[in-house]
Structure 1
Amino acid sequence: MKKTDLRFKVANREALIGVGLAIFNFVWWFGLAYGLGDRTPEDYTYIMGLPSWFFYSCILGFLIMVVLVIVAVKFWFTEVPLDDEGGNLE
């Protein structure tokens, strides 16, 4: 029976984290852009000269994603050796 390389487990976990972040980003953007942007332009509220739906979905959403990606990389991602031996992962 062939032993599974631990690097694949790490890569799969990190890929799932990346997919989760992408899904969160899409749900955030879609929900706020279409949830707040379904009114007529005369009824929009503005933040810093931008419609609130755009500010919350694109500007604030981008900043939240930057923070989430930094947190994910800093705390959940693991450096793995890429040589043939695979090194020693803990």
Structure 2
Amino acid sequence: MEELDWRFKIAHREAWIGLGLALFNFLWWFGFAYGLGSRPVEEYRYVFGLPDWFFYSCVVGFLLISVLVVIVVKFFFVEVPFDEEEEE
């Protein structure tokens, strides 16, 4: 049986990390948007003129996921050559 190229192992790990970040982003957004946003409009609190549910789900969520992506790419992803390796 032919052994898989070592680059596939790295690609699979990085794909799982990417899926984890996407899932975290969705849960963050959904939790704040529907958690805080399900109250009656009269009970909304405002941050910088925006409803708190929108501010935390969209503004803070965007900033948080942007920072997390930069950190993950910088410290956990590795550069992989795309050239075909010559068989010896």
- TM norm structure 1: 0.92
- 1:70 deviates by 0.3
- Counterpart amino acid of 1:78? V
Q: Give distance in 2, aligned partners of 1:42 and 1:17.
A: 40
Q: Give distance in 2, aligned partners of 1:23 and 1:48.
A: 27
Q: Unaligned stretches of 5+ in structure 2?
A: none
| Percent of aligned positions that are identical | 63
Q: Give distance in 1, aligned partners of 2:50 and 2:41.
A: 11
Q: Unaligned stretches of 5+ in structure 1?
A: none
CA root-mean-square deviation = 1.0
User: What is the count of residue pairs matched by the alignment?
Assistant: 86
1:50 to 2:56 alignment: no
Q: Give distance in 1, aligned partners of 2:41 and 2:48.
A: 16
Q: 4+ runs of 1 displaced by more than 3 Å?
A: none
Greater RCO, 1 or 2 (C-alpha within 8 Å, sep 6+): 1
Q: After the TM superposition, which residues 1-90 of structure 1 pair with which residues of structure 2 at under 5 Å, given as runs?
A: 1-85=1-85
- Deviation readout 1:13-52 (Å, 9 max, x if unpaired): 0000000000000000000100000111111000000000
